Structure 1
Amino acid sequence: MSTLLATGFSAVAADSSSPQELIAKGEYLAIAADCGACHTSPKGGAAMSGGYGIQSPLGTIFASNITPSKVAGIGNYTEQDFARAVRQGINKQGQYLYPAMPYTSYSRITDSDIQALYAYFMHGVAAVDVKAPQTHLPFPFNIRSSMALWNTLFSNNKPFIAEESVSPQVNRGNYLVNALAHCDTCHTPRNALMGQDDSKALSGGSLGSWYAPNITPDKTSGIGSWSGEDLARYLKTGHLAGKAQAAGPMAEAVEHSLQHLSSADIEAMVAYLKQIPAVNTGGSQSRDSYGAASSTEQQMRGDQASAEPGWAVFSGSCANCHQANGEGTSYYPSLFHNSATGADNPTNLVSAILNGVHRNVNGQQVDMPVFGPDANFSMQLTDRQIADVSNYVLTTFGNPKVSVTAAQVQQIREGGPKPLLAQLTTPAVMIGIAAVVLLAAILLGVWVSNRRKKNVARK
């Protein structure tokens, strides 16, 4: 990271006085917008060269090459072309982008920040002349022009305007949360057409195999019980002892973006989140307040005949790291007072077991091993075993009102519940649509034929 970025220069810079400062500002903005998380393929991919496969309910969407390459990237883009792609989701060739690229949030980015981002991508990123894989979604989603209607319904394309009734700090936080960092893209629920339901902004949303929880200041459903210092620490590190640990997409956001933001910007995000409308989505107590240390694991060692199935998995695969009583260590988190085990939705607990937890913060690698299909053979657990150990953990340390079935584990492993729009691609629905179209064509043909016969008879 450049010296300018390390000092937080770009976090508050207005119009830059030199090309170098403009590029540095753009680099900071690109980090705040988390561009690299999607456009840089993990495990050694060249910066911003694309190729990362983003799993969506509609299929895999490959991030494009956004280096200044003239043959594979955006080297031929004018600033106007760049702004249109970022804000409206339409590339230089006039093709509509899929909203896996969060242009509905980026539409709020100001003109001056678009200018800085363009300067950075054109002059601060190395050109890579390798084209990213093409995205091929099933019919009817492969018809990109259909996104024009979706955009009309769900993308307002209005740049951010500061509110006079709140402080500059809160306005800055609003801009970061809802524009650059696009927190709303994940944490806001979506309707049947996968558009954001902004009437319940930031109250939680499904991410397929993961769930982005309620981050409104509601005391039980959201993070209203967190202090400002708690929230700032979590955003910066992805770890808050006795409350939460970042995993999945949130771990990526912390690793690639949030940990690199200035303290002033983190505090602005906290200030904004603390004053938004609280949304209660149910629940009798906060998800990080459930559970306590337990001696159940030790007790069952002496009576294995009557031990529940999940105990055997926990004792063999979990207790060594999280401790037999569930209190964890300085490295591995406690299983009680943990938002993943206390939530009324078990998705994140199951996904953590299936996919592991991986994040690198301040040079420290945080890892929980994978126990799903990608695990080493000796560590691989079946869907039934993952359901059993999840239920043991929920009953012993977390929210006892929640339970998990093997079918739920399979669904989460396969990408989570499909929204209504995505169900259009299932064979049964496609056959049904084809049948309706065919029937309509037959009826239309009969109607036209009868009309012609009547016209002939009149003559």
Structure 2
Amino acid sequence: MKNMLKGLGAALCVALPFLAQAPADAATPAGAGAADQALVQRGAYLAQLGDCAACHTAPKGKPFAGGLPMNTPMGRIYVTNITPDAQTGIGGYTEADFARALREGVAKDGHNLYPAMPYPSYAKVNDDDVKALYAFFMHGVAPVQQANRESDIKWPLNMRWPLMFWNMAFLQKGAYRDKPGKDVAWNRGAYLVQGLGHCGSCHTPRGVAFQESALDESGSAFLSGALLDGWFASNLTGEHNAGLGRWSDEDLRTFLKSGANRHASAFGAMTSVINNSTQALSDQDIAAMSAYLKSLPPVGGDGAAAYTYDPQATKVSLDRPANDAGARVYTAYCMHCHGVDGRGFAPMLAPLAGNPNVLAKDASSLINVTLNGTGDLVINGVPSPFPMPGFAAVLDDKQIADVLSFVRAGWNNGAPAVGAAEVAKLRQSTQAGR
């Protein structure tokens, strides 16, 4: 669940997503005094909940000025400027314009936004929260004059008018309504997970038209895990091996606040979600999200029995690494962090035994993180001391396949082996342009 991610996302906030928090030292925009500061602050919190900084702030760029490249099945697009600059940002948007773009995917000038922006999730945001978000983006964000960049999508796929029909087929309008028979915490968690948190944008499989296969728990595919931009966003249902079935409520709350627990550590796009969003949420909202996620029935399992730890066979292999190519790589490069017993040193160094990412059918995340490492988790301003390094320049495709096959079989994990061709494919796609 490490890449539970934004999701995580990798998140899929494009064209005109809206949510994030202005840096504490950002200049106060002109006219801020005219706004209700309590409303602006509430909007800042809601924006952080939506983690739009991850999409709309480019590396070393100004907050929310856009320019971040994002890959889609159609080609590369560049996220837009959502500062209140009148010429290049959203300074000319009325609250109604803002609400329409946020919840219906239609910009002020009438053009349709690509569904890579998760407006099918934001459609569930209620009017009061839209008002607070609008106040924040108009009065809590410094305007930046920075022109938006055209996408690299080629004609005819770059035409926007067909998106009207996409919306007719897949957009479900209407703010979230509390489900009868569910308590306040469950409904709050459902609203946050399905709406502002847009967890399904990464963690729910998509259909042939790039639509999410389900938008809430009424669909069996909802949050059952999905491949996205070289990462596999984990299963967030109660599935007992690759999902959250073995996680306690405390385990999940700890992960959302710190990015690590006794089962796994965040990597990939989920690192950004933890850094920019969930660690700053109130304990009440974290508890609500956990209550909702823990209520989801298991989906997507392979019928295997629940994982139980067994170190014996792996210990024999590690005692004789010359006889096992994967064990040789593990003892040379992995064992000092993840341990002979595969249990790591949680929460600082992730365990491999029973880790949901290791047990998942799709090994993309394991291959990707082994090749490229991961960014730092930064909790309360302090970077994690032991980030995962990348081994693309150190290990060849066969060595990575060998060690990951060893890990996926080890400690009774029982997951399928990894082939060198799988590694080569991800190496090519993730190393391009580096």
The normalised TM-score by structure 2 is: 0.83
CA distance in 1, matches of 2:428, 2:168: 31
Matched, 1:312 2:333: no
SS at match of 1:239: coil
Matched, 1:41 2:49: no
**Does the CA contact (< 8 Å) of 2:88 and 2:146 recur in 1?**
yes
Aligned residue among 266, 270, 277 for 2:290: 270
Which residue identity lines up with residue 252 of structure 1 in the other structure?
S
Q: Which residue of 2 aligns with 1:389?
A: 403
Q: Which residue of 2 aligns with 1:354?
A: 371
> Are residues 401 and 261 of structure 1, via their aligned partners in 2, closer, same or farther at CA, if it must alter by over 3 Å?
closer
Deviation at 1:325, TM superposition (A): 4.2
Q: Which residue of 2 aligns with 1:299?
A: 319
Which residue identity lines up with residue 342 of structure 2 in the other structure?
G
| Structure ranking higher on relative contact order (CA contacts 8 Å, 6+ apart) | 2
Percent identical residues? 39
Alpha-carbon deviations, 1:257-281, whole Å to 9, x = none? 1111000000111111222343243
Deviation at 1:414, TM superposition (A): 4.7
> Are residues 182 and 414 of structure 1, via their aligned partners in 2, closer, same or farther at CA, if it must alter by over 3 Å?
farther
Deviation at 1:323, TM superposition (A): 3.2
Aligned residue among 101, 112, 122 for 2:117: 101
Deviation at 1:327, TM superposition (A): 3.2
> Are residues 222 and 395 of structure 1, via their aligned partners in 2, closer, same or farther at CA, if it must alter by over 3 Å?
closer
Aligned length: 390
| Structural mapping, 1:283-432, within 5 Å | 283-286=303-306, 289=308, 292=311, 294-296=314-316, 298-300=318-320, 304=322, 307-330=323-346, 331-358=348-375, 359-366=377-384, 367-372=387-392, 379-397=393-411, 399-415=413-429
Structure 2 unaligned segments of length 5 or more: list them.
Answer: 1-19, 25-33
Deviation at 1:298, TM superposition (A): 4.8
CA distance in 2, matches of 1:396, 1:171: 40
Q: Which residue of 2 aligns with 1:233?
A: 254
**Does the CA contact (< 8 Å) of 2:360 and 2:415 recur in 1?**
no
Matched, 1:245 2:265: yes
Alpha-carbon deviations, 1:111-137, whole Å to 9, x = none? 111111111001101111112432121
SS at match of 1:54: strand
**Does the CA contact (< 8 Å) of 1:208 and 1:412 recur in 2?**
no
What value does the CA root-mean-square deviation take over the aligned residues? 2.4
Deviation at 1:311, TM superposition (A): 3.2
Matched, 1:254 2:274: yes
Structure 1 unaligned segments of length 5 or more: list them.
Answer: 6-16, 373-378, 417-459
CA distance in 2, matches of 1:92, 1:22: 23
Deviation at 1:104, TM superposition (A): 0.8
CA distance in 2, matches of 1:176, 1:154: 20
SS at match of 1:318: helix
Aligned residue among 100, 108, 115 for 2:131: 115
> Are residues 344 and 398 of structure 1, via their aligned partners in 2, closer, same or farther at CA, if it must alter by over 3 Å?
farther
Which residue identity lines up with residue 231 of structure 1 in the other structure?
L
CA distance in 2, matches of 1:109, 1:337: 36
CA distance in 1, matches of 2:278, 2:378: 12
Which residue identity lines up with residue 379 of structure 2 in the other structure?
V
**Does the CA contact (< 8 Å) of 2:242 and 2:359 recur in 1?**
no
**Does the CA contact (< 8 Å) of 2:99 and 2:130 recur in 1?**
yes
Aligned residue among 143, 157, 172 for 2:188: 172
Matched, 1:205 2:240: no
Q: Which residue of 2 aligns with 1:432?
A: none
Alpha-carbon deviations, 1:84-119, whole Å to 9, x = none? 111111111222211221111001111111111111
> Are residues 327 and 216 of structure 1, via their aligned partners in 2, closer, same or farther at CA, if it must alter by over 3 Å?
closer
Deviation at 1:220, TM superposition (A): 4.5
Deviation at 1:314, TM superposition (A): 2.4
CA distance in 2, matches of 1:120, 1:236: 24
Deviation at 1:320, TM superposition (A): 2.9
The range that moved more, 350-359 or 277-286, is 277-286
CA distance in 2, matches of 1:326, 1:221: 17
CA distance in 2, matches of 1:353, 1:32: 29
Deviation at 1:175, TM superposition (A): 0.7
The normalised TM-score by structure 1 is: 0.79
